[in-house]
Amino acid sequence: MNSVTTTQNSWATNSDSVIRESLLSAIPESDLTIDGWADTYRFLSPERSARPGRWSTDLVPYLREPMRVVTNSDVVEVVFMASSQIAKTEFCNNVLGYFIHIDPSPILYLCENEGKAEAWSKECLAPMIRDTPVLAKLIGEARMRDSGNTTFDKRFPGGHLALAWATSPATLSSRPRRVVLADECDGYAPTNEGDPMSLAEKRTTTFTNKKILKVSSPRDELTSTIEPAYRETDMRRYFVPCPHCDEFQILEWKRVKWDDTTSDAYYVCVNGCLIEHDSKTEMLASGEWRVTNPQPTPGKVGFWINELYSPFVDWTDMRNRFLIAKRKGQETLKVFINTSLAETWKAGGEEIDTDDLLARCEFFAAEVPVGVKVLTAGVDVQNDRLECEIVGWGEDKESWSIAYRIIEGDPTKKQVWEELKDILTRDYECEPLDDDADIRNLRVAAVAVDSGGHHTHEVYKFTRSNAGRRFHAIKGANTPGKPLASRPSKVGTPPTKLYIIGTETAKDSIAAALEVAEPGPNYCHFPDGRDAEYFKQLRSERAVMRYVGRRQVRTWEKRKPSLRNEALDVRVYAMAALAILNPDFKAMRRRAQHQPLAAATVQTSVLDTPAETTVVAEDEPVISQPPVPNSRRARRRIRGNGFVNNW
Ligand SMILES: [Zn+2]
């Protein structure tokens, strides 16, 4: 068999076509569909499947039609937008196996990056070839020197499978390809040479019988390519019958319900019937794909399916993962929405409007409501005023807007800064936990002041002289994905610490938090008395895609140029101050349970200066403090009434 595969450009040579003919003569089923091929020839490998052995499409009946349409002569493009646990990798593998065995062609398999291409080749493709006898016969082992095969190139009689990755346009601009299979294509970042998917599609232009397969979980709404591609197709969805009323319906996350978190989740049919998870197998077997877009682009067929359908995952498990994701915050929730619900993540803050937020204002029983564990502040510097918000933070990023102040005046004058300092250093009265409890106060534990405007010098002066109170100079960087706070650098004379903060990251978090409708993790509380202008400013920006050179980048910008955005900026800065402070909320809770009036705990932030004094008391958590001031009076002030207050 090895003599077969040593020929270069094997699909193009005469000698190879002769060999191919002789091999195909042993295959009577040249009109097989892909699902038929898989049921006949495909074997699952033990390292890839809990049920190794012969493949059965009946176990995942929703894959039958997507596999079947690929070989339909009218179909050019198949889009498969699906969650992770739906066997979409096996869908890809079966397509490849079919084209290697039954309809040998030049094939391009496209991954997100080189690491994923290598992992896929070694962990998915190699075991499939090894354990599927018809493929093992056609493809020599990569380690055999004369097999003509490497990790990224597989040769077989009449064809060639090349692996490419989206981060390297060089791997895409090779020979013509009849079949292009783009796996996890929503993760392809644009390159300087252009969009990787388009580059790969260009490879197929010389083939009239080309096949383009786009397979992916969706990601961010703004950058998603799989969702727009799906919308161009006939948009098939898998309808399954209710086991009680027989009504055909698609399975949606909003219909998964539970009575309490310890009992099993169940599904509520569109007619109100309660469906237990045990019914899923029967429902899947009776399901059918239905077209939901009657006017698709000709030749394009699309399928969308989520994890609710997966025979490998039950609804209770999904519920548990959802609750964890919700508690952990937007990054984890995004993963759940993308990979379990197969929906794009919408972080643009489009759902909620100013009126919704205005209606949400609530009565705060004291300046600092119960739930707030730490206060931070953000300060924006304009030419004629300072704007400042004090934000209270609880566990799981639940937040309370404690105060919003505008200090009119020229920032080159000392007076506005004195006024700001008064606001930032005073005591804020906490709501007592019960009627008998002592009145407690909180002070602002960290402050971030924007130094990016015209008054950098004044900001440095202010933060330098209040460094012991954790007043930090910050500057925004709108680099996507940049962490909220990085290590500070030393700037100016005399030297001042400057933190560069990831404003895009903060704005993503704020937009997501504003969408949270119920108090709890990430929810934003606002006090009675906030006006519409405040909320307009808070929602003044949205995420958009913009070209920078030839690359499209995601960025936040104003909805209208005329809108003011200071309220959003100061919230970003208050959030950055919290990230720099990095308080340990769990330790606070533990201490509060044992010792309600004990001193606060602040983790020594990895971002903070190493020069701080760390005080460790016996059996006490670590309390880190800034350098102790020289004057005895100042020292007493910090010990007695620290920058981090009791709670
Ligand atoms: Zn029903």
Q: From the CA of 343, how far away is ligand 1's center (Å)?
A: 25
Which residues sit opposite 53 in a β-bridge?
Answer: 44
pLDDT at position 65: 97
Take residue 465 and report the two structure tokens written for it: 């002289």
pLDDT of the residue at 148: 65
- Interval between CA 249 and ligand 1 midpoint (Å): 9
Cα-to-centroid distance, 166 and ligand 1 (Å) = 45
- Give the residue ranges of DSSP H helices in 215-314: 226-231, 280-285
The whole-angstrom separation of Cα 506 and Cα 573 is 9
Cβ atoms 368, 360 nearer than 8 A:
no
Alpha-carbon distance of 153 to 107, in angstroms, equals 10
Closest by Cα among 177, 176, 181, 33 to 93: 181
Q: Give one DSSP letter per residue of 177-200, joined into a string.
A: -SEEEEETGGGPPPBTTB-HHHHH
Full-model pTM: 0.65
Cα(247) to centroid of ligand 1, in Å?
6
pLDDT of residue 345: 83
Whether omega for the bond prior to residue 494 falls within 30 degrees of 0, making it cis, is yes
| Pairing verdict, β 524-525 and 399-408 | parallel
From first CA to last CA, the distance across the chain in angstroms is 76
What separation in Å is there between the alpha carbon of 336 and the centre of ligand 1? 27
Contact 76, 300 (CB under 8 A): yes
In whole angstroms, give the CA distance from residue 563 to residue 559.
7
Task: Give 254's contacts (C-beta < 8 A, 6+ positions apart).
Answer: none
For position 4, what pLDDT does the model report? 34
Distances (CA, A) of 495 to 35, 461, 492, 607: 69, 10, 5, 17
Q: How far is the CA of 282 from the centre of ligand 1 (A)?
A: 14
- Topology given in CATH for the domain delimited by 354-581: Nucleotidyltransferase; domain 5 (3.30.420)
Distance 265 CA to ligand 1 centre (A): 16
Distance of CA 246 to the CA centre of its chain: 37
* Tokens read off for 288: 């059918």
Residue 323 alpha carbon to ligand 1 centre in Å: 26
Report the separation in Å between the CA atom of 291 and the middle of ligand 1, taken as the mean of its atom positions: 22
CB 84 within 8 A of CB 217: yes
Tokens of 236: 């098939």
- 3-class DSSP state of 75: coil
580-584: long-range contacts at Cβ-Cβ below 8 A with a sequence spacing of 24 or more? Answer: 580/446, 580/448, 580/470, 580/472, 580/485, 580/499, 580/605, 580/607, 580/608, 581/374, 581/376, 581/445, 581/446, 581/470, 581/605, 582/606, 582/607, 582/608, 583/373, 583/374, 583/393, 583/445, 584/621
CA of 294 to the centre of ligand 1 (A): 26
Cα distance between residue 444 and residue 388, in whole Å: 12
Among 4, 116, 449, 483, smallest CA distance to 125 is for: 116
Cα(258) to centroid(ligand 1), Å: 17
Q: How far is CA 124 from the centre of its chain?
A: 25
d(Cα 106, Cα 175) in Å, to the nearest integer? 9
What is the predicted pLDDT for the residue at 295?
Answer: 94
The helix (H) or strand (E) run that includes residue 337 is helix 330-339
Residue 573: name the closest of 466, 460, 447 by CA: 447
**248 Cα: distance to centroid of ligand 1 (angstroms):** 9
CATH class of 2-235+293-305: alpha beta
Ligand 1 centroid–CA 257 distance in Å is 15
- In angstroms, the CA 145 to CA 74 distance is 40
Is residue 10 within 8 Å of residue 21, measured between CB atoms? Answer: no
Between helix 414-425 and helix 456-465 the angle, nearest 10°, is 40
How far is ligand 1, taken at its centre, from the CA of residue 276, in Å? 11
Answer for the pair 171, 164: CB distance below 8 angstroms, yes or no: yes
Contact present, 379 and 388 (Cβ < 8 Å): yes
Which among 55, 59, 36 is positioned nearest to 131, based on CA atoms?
55
Give SS3 for 299: coil
273 Cα: distance to centroid of ligand 1 (angstroms): 4
Q: What angle do CA 436, 437, 442 make, to 5 degrees?
A: 155
Which residue ranges does the chain devote to CATH 3.30.420?
354-581
* pLDDT per 10-residue tile (average), the chain, 647 residues: 34 43 50 93 90 93 97 96 93 96 95 93 94 91 61 91 90 86 91 86 92 94 89 96 96 92 92 94 97 95 96 94 84 88 74 82 94 96 95 94 95 95 95 80 96 92 94 89 87 91 91 87 93 91 76 80 91 96 88 55 43 30 34 34 26
User: Which alpha helices (DSSP H) does 56-113 contain, by range?
Assistant: 64-70, 88-101
**Three-state secondary-structure class, residue 573:** helix
Ligand 1 centre distance from Cα of residue 206 (Å): 50
Q: What is the distance in A from the centroid of ligand 1 to the CA of 270?
A: 6
Give me ligand 1 centre to Cα 231, in Å. Answer: 29
pLDDT of residue 414: 94
Reading the block at residue 49, the tokens are: 């499947």
What is the distance in A from the centroid of ligand 1 to the CA of 164? 46
Which amino acid is residue 383, in one-letter code? N
Instruction: Show Cβ contacts of residue 594 under 8 Å, excluding neighbours closer than 6 positions.
Output: none
**Ligand 1 centre from 61 Cα, in Å?**
21
Alpha-carbon 466 to chain mean position: 37
Q: What is the CA radius of gyration of the chain?
A: 30
Residue 240 CB burial class (10 angstroms; 0-12, 13-18, ≥19): buried
Q: How far does residue 625's CA lie from ligand 1's centre (Å)?
A: 62
Give 579 Cα–ligand 1 centroid separation in angstroms.
Answer: 48
CB atoms within 10 A of CB 43: 21
pLDDT at 550: 65
Q: Residue 288 C-alpha to ligand 1 middle, in angstroms?
A: 17
Number of H helices, E strands in the chain: 22, 29
Residue 512, CA atoms < 13 Å, CB-side half-sphere: 24
